[in-house]
């Protein structure tokens, strides 16, 4: 299936390659096409130009890496890019070294030993009411499958981050991409 860019701008965030300085970018659709010398950095934001099979033709809108190219959506079952609306940034807990998270949905579930660091990026796995199960993409803290409870601004959706505000089209309706059941913009409270 080939999906050329239309009036709706789909943004993607690089979630892979954190341990390698980013993900590989190729000149063309085929994985045998020449590799570009520069990698696309983790947390770089790209605009979808074309999606063909498991390959994304992109134009970079924020971050480090090539201005354009082709990347794989995943490799060996691990996602390399994620849709921007699945991404959240930790903004709370700066004075405490990050925010507290729990292992389960229940507010009485076990506390994680580590805090999730302020400015860390997470990708939502599942949303249950005002709780978000996540996997950590950057920063320090629990790697994933933990949840946060709704309340004061501890995490914000991609659209509410400084990066998101800078790259979103002024005419786009950012509220249409929020997970159903979440208050627009925030999730999290000290637990």
Report the chain's mean pLDDT, rounded to a whole number.
Answer: 82
Per-residue pLDDT, averaged over 29-45, amounts to: 97
The per-residue pLDDT for range 153-187, each reduced to its tens digit, is 788 889 889 998 888 755 444 333 333 333 333 33
**What are the angstrom distances between the C-alpha of 65 and each of 7, 55, 73?**
25, 17, 16
Task: Provide the pLDDT for residue 146.
Answer: 63
Task: Provide the pLDDT for residue 107.
Answer: 79
Single pTM value for the model: 0.79
DSSP, collapsed to helix, strand or coil, labels residue 166 as helix
Residue 149 has pLDDT above 60, yes or no: no
The per-residue pLDDT for range 15-30, each reduced to its tens digit, is 999 989 999 999 999 9
Helix (H) or strand (E) holding 162, with range, is helix 162-167
């Amino acid at each position: 299936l080939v999906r050329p860019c239309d009036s709706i701008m789909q943004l993607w965030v690089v979630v892979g390659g954190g341990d390698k300085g980013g993900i590989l970018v190729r000149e063309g659709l085929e994985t045998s096409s020449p590799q570009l010398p520069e990698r696309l950095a983790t947390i770089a934001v790209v605009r979808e130009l074309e999606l063909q099979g498991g390959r994304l033709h992109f134009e970079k809108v924020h971050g480090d890496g090539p201005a354009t190219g082709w990347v794989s959506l995943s490799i060996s079952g691990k996602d390399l890019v994620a849709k921007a609306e699945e991404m959240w940034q930790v903004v709370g807990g700066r004075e405490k070294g990050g925010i507290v998270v729990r292992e389960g949905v229940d507010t009485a579930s076990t506390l994680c030993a580590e805090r999730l660091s302020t400015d860390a990026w997470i990708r939502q796995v599942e949303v249950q009411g005002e709780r978000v199960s996540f996997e950590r993409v950057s920063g320090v803290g629990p790697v994933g499958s933990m949840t946060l409870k709704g309340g004061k601004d501890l995490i914000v959706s991609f659209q509410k981050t400084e990066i998101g505000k800078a790259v979103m089209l002024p005419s786009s309706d950012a509220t249409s991409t929020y997970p159903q059941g979440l208050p627009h913009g925030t999730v999290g409270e000290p637990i």
